Every structure is written in structure tokens, then in C-alpha cells.
Amino acid sequence: MAEKKRIVLDVLRGETVFPPPIWMMRQAGRYLPEYRETRKRAGGFLDLCYNPDFAVEVTLQPIKRFGFDASILFSDILVVPHALGRDLRFEEGRGPVMTPIAMEDIATLSTEAFHEVLAPVYETVRRLRKELPEETTLLGFCGAPWTVATYMIAGHGTPDQAPARLFGYRHPEAMRDLLDLLARQSADYLIRQIDAGADAVQIFDSWSGVLDEACFQDYCMRPVAEIVRRVRAVHPDTPIIGFPKGAGSLYDGYRAATGITALGIDWSVPLSQAKTLQGHGAVQGNLDPLRLVAGGKALDEGVDAILRELGSGPLVFNLGHGITPEAPIAHVERMVARVREATT
């Protein structure tokens, strides 16, 4: 029997497939009643991330419901600093909370138990690869060093990441030390995920859009390039998706500077710019998540525009950021059907 193709992998490597494959960032999440039920049984959010039984269950839920072409590991970007010895908790209505890291704390971060803490995540990946349909691409991921550092420095999410930006201006050497350590450990984390069965990986830089050009190059592109270099040294053929959300015009040089395989683009990227970026390789995105909440004409027009402008090149259809809890399931079904039933 012929092996079933994983078309997301084909597209990430530069092939054009139409209709394009589709998945959603945060596709295992609070908009699904089955997710809310599992999370209730799991207890805390970290219990959900670190328990392979629960993590596998919620990762598979959107695949069973919608049949997406890719499945992304259920975890959180902040398990990396947690595995380095930082405290971490998730508060309802507030999100992740950590003790803010001081300059002198950076040297005390310990890698000794790093993979031991993350062992349940690797087990989740191993189980997922066995349980997913053969044709479904399994994605691993990590947070980019800059985005992870913003939470470590502020201790929580902030609107413009002013604490981390000030830290970088006042303590440039300490910031570089922190980003370099996070790059090394994140690369090791991705390598272990690939070892366990991930077909491709994504690096989420959710806060790259708050930086000026010089800091973007130093805080975003340089550490991600190091992650890519380290992962490629072990797994040269594994596609790597980079997602520097909010990068604007700085998207243009990101792929070349970092060496990523495919470029995730947010909804603010004009489709004309996205088309130019697609000329250098696969792009992923970029439907506004609020069009999915709105549904109807707004959703249809958003889907159609992306397919019209980007469907003739390598495209993984996705949102321009994660699905929101308010998105109706019927609208997700409508989006998936509109993409899959599209004709050239």
C-alpha cells in the first residue's frame, strides 16, 4: 500500500498544492467544548501540558473534528524557562505569571534538569505520531528567545513589552546572554521534539513587532538564526517555520537572515507583500482571526482574497495569529469547507 503524503511538508519545502493545506494556530483551545472539558479534568494548565494523556487528547481533538492537514503539539512557549528553573503559574483571566528575572539571575539559570522536566512533552510527541492519521503533519514548536524573554523579564504579558525593551537598552550584555541561552536550549528542545517524531517545527516570535530595526536584528533575527543553525546541524531536512508576528516591512529580510524554511505571516501583512515573500519560499497565513469570529461575508471575502493572491504559490492556509475563544465552531467549519472546495 502506497504511503500517504503529508502535503503540509510538501508545501513547506516549496511545492504548490491547490487547494492549499490548512491548519490553525491554537487549534486545540478554548473555542472547543471538548477542550474545555479536558482542561477541567486536568486541573491546572501546566498539568494539561505536562500530562501526555491529556496533552495527546487535546492535540487530537481538532484533528478529529475538522480533519486539519497538520497537528501542532499542545504545550506552551514558557515551558522552556520553567525547565530552566524559573517559577511559572497560569492565572485565570491573566495568563502566565512568573517572578521577574533580574540581571544577576541569568547566570543562575540551570540546564541540569532541562530535558527531565520536558520529558512528558517528548512523550506526547511520540504518542501523537503513532495516533495521528498517517497523512497528518505533526508540528513541534518553541517560542523565540525574544518573546520568551519578554515574559521572563516582566513576569507577565504587557501591551508593548516596555520592561524587556528597557532591560535590553540598560543591560545589553545581560540581554544577549539571556537570548543566547534561550536560543541554545530552544534548539535542543526542538531537536528532541524532532527525534520524538515531529515532522516540522515552528518558532513563535509573538512580540517581534514592538522592536525598532536594530533591536529586531539583534533580539529576533540573530537568536532565531542560531536556533536554525543548531537544529539543521542535527536534522538538516526538517522544515522550520518562522513566525515574527508584527514585523511589518522587516518581514522582507527575515527568511534570508534566519535561514528558516517557511514564513508565517500575520494578518496585517498586505497580500501584495505576502506575494513577494512567497517568491522566496512557502508562506503560511494570514486570515485575520476576527474574520473567523465575524463569519459570513467578512470570512468568505478574507478566505477568497488569500486564495486568489497566494494560491498559485506554496501556501499553508492559516490564521494570522491564534484562533480566539469566541470563534464559533460553525465558522471554522465554513472556513475549512471554503478552502477545501476552492477552485482555481
For residue 93, the model assigns a pLDDT of 79
Question: Does any domain span residue 229?
Answer: yes
CATH number at residue 331: 3.20.20.210
Q: Can you state the angle between helices 296-310 and 329-340, rounded to 10 degrees?
A: 30
Please say if 39 is a catalytic residue: yes
For residue 299, the model assigns a pLDDT of 98
**Residue-wise pLDDT tens for the chain (344 aa)?**
556 899 999 999 999 999 999 999 999 999 999 999 999 999 889 999 999 999 999 999 999 999 999 999 999 999 999 999 999 999 887 889 999 999 999 999 999 999 999 999 999 999 999 999 999 999 999 999 999 999 999 999 999 999 999 999 999 999 999 999 999 999 999 999 999 999 999 999 999 999 999 999 999 999 999 999 999 999 999 999 999 999 999 999 999 999 999 999 999 999 999 999 999 999 999 999 999 999 999 999 999 999 999 999 999 999 999 999 999 999 999 999 999 999 87
Residues paired with residue 201 on neighbouring β-strands, in sequence order: 140, 240
Three-state secondary structure call for residue 285: strand
Question: Does any domain span residue 141?
Answer: yes
Please give the tally of structural domains in the chain: 1
The residue annotated as part of the active site, out of 10, 13, 30, 180, is 30
Question: Does any domain span residue 1?
Answer: no
Q: Are 65 and 35 in contact (CB under 8 A)?
A: no
Domain that holds residue 261: 7-340
The residue annotated as part of the active site, out of 35, 50, 76, 291, is 76
The residue annotated as part of the active site, out of 6, 31, 35, 39, is 39
- Alpha-carbon distance of 145 to 153, in angstroms, equals 12
For residue 177, the model assigns a pLDDT of 98
Question: Does any domain span residue 260?
Answer: yes
Question: Does any domain span residue 217?
Answer: yes
For residue 206, the model assigns a pLDDT of 97
* pTM score over 0.75: yes
Please say if 76 is a catalytic residue: yes
Question: Does any domain span residue 53?
Answer: yes
Please say if 338 is a catalytic residue: no
For residue 1, the model assigns a pLDDT of 53
Please say if 230 is a catalytic residue: no
Cα→Cα distances 142→166, 242, 273, 292, Å: 24, 10, 26, 25
Question: Does any domain span residue 216?
Answer: yes
Run of H or E including 143:
strand 137-143
The residue annotated as part of the active site, out of 31, 50, 122, 151, is 151
Please say if 30 is a catalytic residue: yes
DSSP states of 199-234 as a string? Answer: SEEEEEETTGGGS-HHHIIIIIIHHHHHHHHHHHHH
The residue annotated as part of the active site, out of 26, 165, 222, 255, is 26
Q: How far apart are the first and last CA of the chain?
A: 31
Question: Does any domain span residue 2?
Answer: no
Q: How many CB atoms lie within 10 A of CB 119?
A: 15
C-alpha cell at 44: 491546572
